[in-house]
Structure 1
């Protein structure tokens, strides 16, 4: 069986490695539009941007691994066409045939439109190695950076900039930072953390446009105020890369729509990772996380070989900002109350409940709370909220 994987990120690399690990011995081609081999993305906005990690340490596997596993790597090779009827992928002028195809095309950062100054020099997004390489020279102590978007990517970039001695302003159009993904309690904790490090966070503050030419010089706010900027980072989320699939007539629904096994609407075509949505609690879910990319890709690899294993998502995420490690387990969608548990040395965790059901938790520098909460959520157990809130409660006892 000839297998082709389009997308050489975390999901594509995991899928290729798993196929070989499960005994697939046929031709296996991994196609990526970036010139770099498969690499980790999370350190890009943290250790790599700080200059604490070399590029080679980002690689998921060394070149010798891919050679030993007989994975044909086609890097810096954007796919220009997909014919699911003829089972052919077009890379430039070449037609690459397949018997089974996996789409692990990931997601792309949302950009400001040119009408808002998105095309000015000195305006960056944070997604790829090339993105971060381009912006790293900007991080010089004393310079001024405006970050558009108070989500995790923007806040991580703000933390790095602050640690390197820059003057940092974060603009968030919503009433508070992290509004889409976290509780007011978590947002308040993170906001206070940034305030202690001198970052100015402006919530409920919309950007009208960026001013300058050819290079950005200021951010003009909706209320007419201007904030001087030596450069700007845009962190306003991502969109799944579905154009290739849509062009080939594959169903799209908040990403490339798959069934519970990872199959798309086209025969012989599968999808996994940031680009894919899957059935979840009567609806559809798309997760943007390393954990999901790996787990879903490995299930798809098994199913491509005939396993018929349903994918059961176990969401977990993390974010590093300054000396605070935020660890998240579960999905808080639909929560109606948040229970706060104080940890040791300033650690804290926030537990999301819907009625008596534990949905998720955010743990700030509290790995014990995170591990216990994650195990409880995965086991479908919901401890009494009063016990969780009581610092005298032995968390491990809740697992019994």
Structure 2
């Protein structure tokens, strides 16, 4: 087996995360799925154990661990334990890095302590009704009113939308194509409201909601970065978001394969274990090979991210490959479970439902192929040249 580029510190961290999840998350997952949202306490307990904002400077209470491999290990253990719908990684880096890259010192002093302790849960609001992955088509607008911004609009499919306390909200600041700003909207701001907790196919314990902004007064101290560079900031951070998505997909697929292998060694058909039939052995061999190859690719992209060298095209490739592979693997694993795989009491049923979003969020597979093809010099707009 190829040795992964992880050090002893990462494996010690893995052990601590594994023990934490077994004690504080696994026993409550079914309850949280039934209620459609995790208890806030899981974020606070994660904070107590140093699992939130691990990259943040020690002066704020963080660990100063910029290394993405710690987040990678955290994600792998969340999915291994069947806790992938606890969106701590979204809090940590998908949203958190916007603060890390753009927040002023005053904003860091104000928001970091709560984000690190788990008292402040983060979300990001980009997607709007009828726009999907087309960020350039967003309609939410922030108007400069001198000492504050006035925000109006609506967002949908927002992760941590119900329990979130602080949202990075993208809104148009001018009529220019890419005239977008990012704003920090806090729980309790007048005019800020949430819709219902949306029913979903999978990720049942992860709250997903609509957000509404009706003349929300945003103080200038809650402006994140420059007011007309939000589109650039979003593009800059999407590479890491897609790497995170790929890591989740691979972790879910790998866990599904391991669980299915054990199940099929015990389940018998015609008096023989399901895993013993040649066709099934060959399919297991093919899936194991693809997952191991994908792991090498993801690990290499993590190294590139740590070095500040992960390109948008490479992030699209790893996200596309891993999400598509996840879909194939969990489907085959469910098939190997037979009728039991269709029952929610078996974890593969959850994994199958949870996996379907992977080819949609952080940019659909079609959008990923568009990005990759353009990087290859293939552009549909060339016909108008």
Normalising by the residue count of structure 2, what TM-score does the alignment of the two structures yield? Answer: 0.26
* Bigger share in helix: 2
* Bigger share in strand: 1
